[in-house]
């Protein structure tokens, strides 16, 4: 039997494509069992809430349960390491946060490399912080506050939830760019009682945490830390309006173990972005003082690398050390 050259080429092409068929079929079928999302924080705080909102919608869209598994401790390192060592099959995911990129420079001896060992899947939310002061501080605008801080170097305290936390590095970036010398006061628990009483004068706080006190006049909002104003506090300027280039945004996203198949990552990215584009989800995030963070895997990976570089410079320059 003889074959034409064209038919032989078609047969060769079909044979070459055979190894791709199982992967394509696997991606189309995924997920075939429940998916676990490890949140390296306690239940009830922002990363957990955002993850649960998205997980519920993913369960409905994909017909399998997306189960949130809280594994707090070690400044997010414990839960992250669990995912690093999980099978790269799309059935164990991580809620990655700004903290992961700070930890790269903050900890000298981690047993993993976050940027190498966690593959970026998708963004979830951006959460602005807001610079607030106790009403006893004689500054009603950001410019006035900067002038007051420069006139009183080392005398104005700002609260944070610990060395290297977002509430700390945001303050140190502000010191570097505004030329101030605010002093960090780290708290293991909530710092809000001391901020409200005036024991500490200022704080770079999550909007959700402080918005009720701002509206009640118990705290004065001077500026939000995103490049643009926040819809949650439309009358409050951005720090960048007075300190050009300043930005300190808390973010959450989804990662997977390195070497997770690209087709599974792409499918997850497509589904997560569809969830984030849902008007009902957007409204829920707005209620939390946040906004959807829609990115491709490549964009999310580049974003995380830039964050690691940025906060690494802040950690080094400010001499931030873990307690």
For the chain, domains (ranges, CATH) are 14-127+250-318 (3.40.190.150), 128-241 (3.40.190.10)
- Average pLDDT score over residue span 156-185: 96
160 has a pLDDT exceeding 90: yes
Confidence of residue 26 (pLDDT cuts 50, 70, 90): low
CB-CB neighbours of 298 under 10 Å? 10
276 has a pLDDT exceeding 60: yes
In sequence order, the 6+-apart residues with CB closer than 8 A to the CB of 47 are 39, 40, 41, 95, 97, 252
- Average pLDDT score over residue span 216-238: 94
- Average pLDDT score over residue span 208-235: 93
- Average pLDDT score over residue span 194-212: 94
Identify the pLDDT of residue 25. 53
- Average pLDDT score over residue span 100-117: 96
46 has a pLDDT exceeding 90: no
Least confident of 21-35, 93-107, 133-147: 21-35
Mean pLDDT of the chain: 92
What percent of the chain clears pLDDT 90, i.e. is strictly above it? 82
Confidence of residue 293 (pLDDT cuts 50, 70, 90): very high
Confidence of residue 271 (pLDDT cuts 50, 70, 90): very high
Sequence-distant contacts of 107-115: CB under 8 A, at least 24 apart: 107/75, 107/77, 107/322, 110/77, 111/81, 112/80, 112/81, 112/84, 114/80, 114/304, 114/308, 115/301, 115/304, 115/305, 115/308
- Average pLDDT score over residue span 174-198: 95
CB-CB neighbours of 34 under 10 Å? 11
Identify the pLDDT of residue 18. 53
């Amino acid at each position: 039997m003889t074959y034409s050259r064209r038919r032989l080429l078609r047969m060769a092409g079909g044979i070459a494509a055979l190894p791709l068929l199982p992967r394509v079929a696997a991606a189309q079928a995924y997920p075939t069992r429940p998916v676990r999302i490890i949140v390296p924080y306690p239940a009830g705080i922002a990363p957990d809430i955002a993850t649960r909102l998205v997980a519920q919608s993913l369960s409905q869209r994909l017909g399998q349960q997306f189960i949130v598994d809280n594994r707090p401790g070690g400044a997010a390192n414990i839960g992250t390491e669990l995912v690093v060592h999980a099978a790269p099959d799309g059935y164990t995911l991580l809620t990655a946060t700004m903290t992961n990129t700070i930890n790269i420079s903050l900890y000298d001896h981690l047993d993993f490399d976050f940027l190498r060992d966690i593959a970026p899947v998708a963004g979830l939310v951006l959460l602005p912080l807001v610079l607030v002061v106790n009403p006893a501080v004689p500054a009603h605008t950001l410019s006035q506050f900067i002038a007051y801080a420069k006139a009183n170097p080392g005398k104005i305290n700002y609260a944070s939830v610990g060395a290297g936390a977002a509430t700390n590095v945001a303050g140190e970036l502000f010191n570097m760019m505004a030329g101030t010398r605010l002093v960090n006061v780290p708290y293991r628990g909530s710092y809000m009682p001391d901020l409200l009483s005036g024991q500490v004068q200022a704080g770079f706080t999550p909007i959700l945490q402080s918005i009720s006190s701002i509206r009640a006049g118990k705290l004065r909002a001077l500026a939000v830390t995103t490049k643009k104003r926040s819809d949650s506090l439309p009358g409050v300027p951005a720090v960048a309006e007075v300190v050009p280039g300043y930005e300190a945004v808390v973010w959450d996203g989804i990662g997977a173990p390195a070497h997770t198949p690209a087709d599974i990552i792409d499918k997850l990215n497509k589904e997560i972005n569809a969830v984030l584009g849902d008007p009902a989800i957007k409204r829920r995030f707005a209620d939390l003082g946040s906004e959807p963070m829609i990115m491709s895997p490549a964009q999310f990976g580049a974003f995380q690398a830039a964050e690691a570089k940025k906060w690494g410079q802040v950690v080094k320059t400010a001499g931030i050390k873990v307690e």
